[in-house]
Structure 1
Amino acid sequence: MIRRLDELFIPDGDDARRWAEEELSDPRYADARPNWFDLVARDIGRFLADLFTSDNGADVGPAALIVVTVVIIAALIAALIIWGRPRDARAVRRARSDLLGERDDRSAARLRAEAERSARAGDWDSATILRFRALARGLLERDLIDPAPGATAQAIAREAAAVFPAEGGPVRSAATAFDDVRYLQHPSDAERYRELATTDDRLSTLRPEAVPA
């Protein structure tokens, strides 16, 4: 349908600014924003490109160019070894919101507190589910595990066992307790919950000697 020009709405300056701010607040623009590592790598690439142009190359000399290149590459490798590649913002948000196949952004401390409240009320099923979620969240908050989205309790247990080999048995038992209640509808009890809670408390105080990449 053709509309007359005098019927079109032309926003004033305030409306146009507000619409632009609302559009730019969309999370997809934040996801596309480069992090500090991307910016540094880009600047180094530009520097090397400028350095190897014919004019600059003739002034500096081939030997100096080789030395500068080696130093920059060595610095980048050292930075990657020491700090690692910064996580993508979307990956960080996913790790915080996705837990055992469900969206859950509660902290480990909050999950533990809710598990204890359920335990005091005698609701051992809820207490068991919440406490294993707290165990998994605690490992995520410490960057000790990096499970894929929708990872199962057993997958998280395997990653935890890789970080703490001596805790492999207890953490697998904790994952089994979670699966029994959550998926098999097997009732939990005080003894099973306390065993899981003890494992979680112990893991929260352990420090790995070497965390696998």
Structure 2
Amino acid sequence: MIAVLTCEAPLTPDEEEARDWLLKELSRVEYSEAPSPVVRFVEAIIRWFTEALSWKGQGAPPISLILMIIAIIAIAGVIIALILNPIRLARKASRTVFEEEASLPEATEAFDQAVASQDWSLAYVWAYRLMVLGLDEHEVVSSTPGLTAHEAARAATRVVPDMGAELAQHAREFDAVRYGHSSMTRDQVEALRSFTRQLLPACARAKERS
């Protein structure tokens, strides 16, 4: 028996279907003669870098190489500024506790002299310094010149978080006195000294538990 193979007639679209197929085919990216703006931009950047990097050191360097070097320097400058400016601003926002190293006896003597002369603003400054020296003894901070009032407060807050609000307040008051924006009273000096007597034992207990 001979099998008879049958085949269907080839698909022949009508006029409307043929037009739709043609429009769909021509709309593909391959047939677009003009590249998109993004493609043109990328191609321009590639040509710019290729021209800049193709210089072999003979004759005057191409303008593209000079512009690329300037761009790299400018970008590096922006990055450095973004990194360093917050650090500088943080330093300016808070006064340093000590301009030079001071021992606990020296700070105590200076505090007593300020109290005797009733210079409560100066007494407050030395009271804060005594607090920082006490924190140094408990290895909470290092009372070296350059340490700011807020850095000391934040370091102590990490050890005794419950006292963070008072530490921040005393740091702000220290800065206000050091900037000359404010003057302190005897009650404020006594409040700082009383707070210090609570803070240092609390730090010692926290250190023992850690």
Larger Rg: 2
- Given the two structures, how large is their TM-score scaled by the length of structure 2? 0.47
- Given the two structures, how large is their TM-score scaled by the length of structure 1? 0.47
